[in-house]
Structure formats: C-alpha cells, structure tokens
Amino acid sequence: MNGILPLWKTKGMTSHDCVFKIRKLFQTKKVGHTGTLDPEVEGVLPICIGQSTKIVPFLTETNKTYIAELKLGVATDTEDAHGKVIEEETVNKFPAERQIEEVLNGFIGEITQVPPMYSAVKVNGKKLYEYARANQVVERPTRQVKIFSISNVFIRPEENSISFHVVCSKGTYIRTLCVDIGKKLGYPAHMSGLKRTQVASFTQQEAITLEQVEERLKTTQPSSLLLPAQRGLEHLEHLQVDEETAVKVRNGQKLLKPDKILKEPFVIMFKNELLAIYQTHPEKPAEIKPVRVFNG
C-alpha cells in the first residue's frame, strides 16, 4: 500500500497524533507527515504511506499557503493567541487600508526572520521552547525565508484584526510575520488565527479529516483513499525514459547525463510509473545517480 493521504488536520491534534492514528487505521508502520502543524492550527497535512515515505524530504521543501489573522494591540510570549500577554497598547487609531497594503507589500520577497522562542528550532542541541520553558535567554539564529504573495486582505477595525492569504517558502513562521507586520504598523501584535490551505499541489478542497477517513474505511479499501506518490513531486522537473532505460533506473543504476538541462533533483518516469529521483553524480559530472528509487 503506497500513496499520499491528503489529510485535513483538525485543531487539538499534533502532527504526530495524526501519524499514530493513520498507522492504526491503515495497519502499517511506514507512515510519515510532511511538515509539522501546531496543535491549535488546522489545515492540509499530506501523509505519506509505504514507498511514498521516500518523498517526505522533497515534499517538506515545498511552498505552503495559509490564511492568517493578526491582532493589533497585544503581544504574547508565544506570538500567537495561546501565550502569555507580554505587551499591550490601545489601538486608538486603526491603520488606514492604504498603509496596511503598503506594509504588507513590503514583506513580499526574501525576508529575514528571528524564530519564536516557543519553536522547535535548535540552538546548541536544545530546542528553543526548552530554553523558553526554563526561562533561559539564548541568542536566536536568523533565517532567510521567502514570501511569494500576500493577498485577500480583510480588515476588521472593530476587532483590531487583519486577515490575509500568504504563500511562503518552507521554514516561514507566520506567527513571526504577524508580529513583524504589527511592528511596522506601530503596534504590538500576535497571530490570532491560522489555517493552512495548501502544501505543494495538495489543496484544502481535496483534503479529508480523520473522521472522514474512518467513515470511508467502513465501506472501501484503504488504498482507494490514497493519491499517487508523483502528486507530491509535481514541483520537481520530470524526465520520461524508454523501457530499456526504465529497467536500469529500477535497478538503481547510474546513467549518462541527459542532454536536456533539468533543475535538480528531478523525477524519472516511464509512462505513468514513478521510477526514481535522480541528480548529478557528485564525483562524475557526466553522470546522474539515484537519490530515491521506487520499487512499485
């Protein structure tokens, strides 16, 4: 049983909880998720099963789409609505729509973020949230992330809130983005709500909840709920090969580099069959070697 379950994670569950539950429902140990979602956040969480677990690192590298809401006037230690209030300021004059648009547009492109203290980023072998819980101060490393777009901006002055859709690179902290937007608007802020609506090509429209999975498994086979592994690799370039080459690829052999210039790593397909992921051989630039081989 191989494929990807387009799961919609509901609030209150950790990503690991979802993996544990899917292992039991599908009666298999080979299960992996493709990017952690905080327990209080709902959204798309593709779950890889069987051979498809081989693509987890490639899927976690993809862009994500969120609907975020920030609230002006209150900052918390966790940068979201579940933390302790550390700063408050009355929003006497809610920013004008034009000012909000200008500030949001200023975040599009490559930006530098400082991860929240309540995050899993490691410093000297310890996660930042471990330092935070122990009330220890530690210097946080900066990271470069990319904001591809911010759209569908909706403001609620009576609630001091701004919501928006954001498409961003792997590793972006939306909590931190909300805090930084607030600073630019002149107020303390926190992320008051978050929903992940897309991971790579997996969308909210096709995602199903664990409850729906359980219900469908009463009348259908588990494999019928899974999407093919190549759905998780649509962001990579594809190379179609002939039958003779396909045999070599299935056996994990090195190949001569194709004439066609491809962005690496790239996927090798034979007709509709996903065979492998290849990249240039590190010591032999005229050859390509497998990074992952899929055995049916």
CATH homologous superfamily of 64-198: Pseudouridine synthase (3.30.2350.10)
pLDDT of residue 133 exceeding 70: yes
Give the type of residue at 131: Y
Residue that the structure tokens 């991971």 belong to: 199
Which of 72, 83, 69, 9 minimizes the C-alpha distance to 193? Answer: 69
Q: Does residue 74 contact residue 52 with C-beta atoms inside 8 Å?
A: no
Q: Does residue 174 contact residue 43 with C-beta atoms inside 8 Å?
A: no
Peptide bond into 95 cis (omega under 30): no
pLDDT tens digits along 44-56: 999 999 999 999 9
Cα–Cα distance between 19 and 48 in angstroms, integer? 9
pTM here is: 0.91
- Mean of the per-residue pLDDT values for the chain? 93
What lies within 8 Å, CB to CB, of 62 at 6+ separation is: 170, 199, 200, 235
* DSSP assignments along the chain, one per residue: --EEEEEEEPTT--HHHHHHHHHHHHT-S-EEESS---TT-EEEEEEEEGGGGGGHHHHHTS-EEEEEEEEETEEETTSBTTS-EEEE---SSPPPHHHHHHHHHTTSEEEEE---SSS--EETTEEHHHHHHTT---PPPPEEEEEEEEEEEEEEGGGTEEEEEEEE-TT--HHHHHHHHHHHHTS-EEEEEEEEEEETTEEGGG-B-HHHHHHHTTTS-GGGGPBPGGGGGTTS-EEE--HHHHHHHHTT--EEPPSS--PSSEEEEETTEEEEEEEE-SS-TTEEEEEEE---
pLDDT tens digits along 1-22: 899 999 999 999 999 999 999 9
Give the type of residue at 125: G
Confidence label for 135 from pLDDT (cuts 50, 70 and 90): confident
Cα–Cα distance between 22 and 259 in angstroms, integer? 42
Residue 267 burial (CB count, 10 A): 24
The C-alpha torsion from 261 through 271 and 234 to 201, rounded to 10°, is 160
pLDDT tens digits along 240-251: 999 999 999 999
Cα–Cα distance between 12 and 148 in angstroms, integer? 29
Tokens for 13, please give them. Answer: 């569950």
Higher pLDDT, residue 282 or 121? 282
* DSSP assignments along 13-28, one per residue: --HHHHHHHHHHHHT-
Intervals of CATH 3.30.2350.10 along the chain: 3-62+201-229, 64-198
Residue 169: per-residue pLDDT: 95
CATH homologous superfamily of 3-62+201-229: Pseudouridine synthase (3.30.2350.10)
Tokens for 23, please give them. Answer: 């292992």
180 noted as active-site residue: no
Q: Which of 38, 80, 180, 259 is catalytic?
A: 38
**CATH T-level fold of 236-293:** 2.30.130
Confidence label for 296 from pLDDT (cuts 50, 70 and 90): low
Residue 65 burial (CB count, 10 A): 20
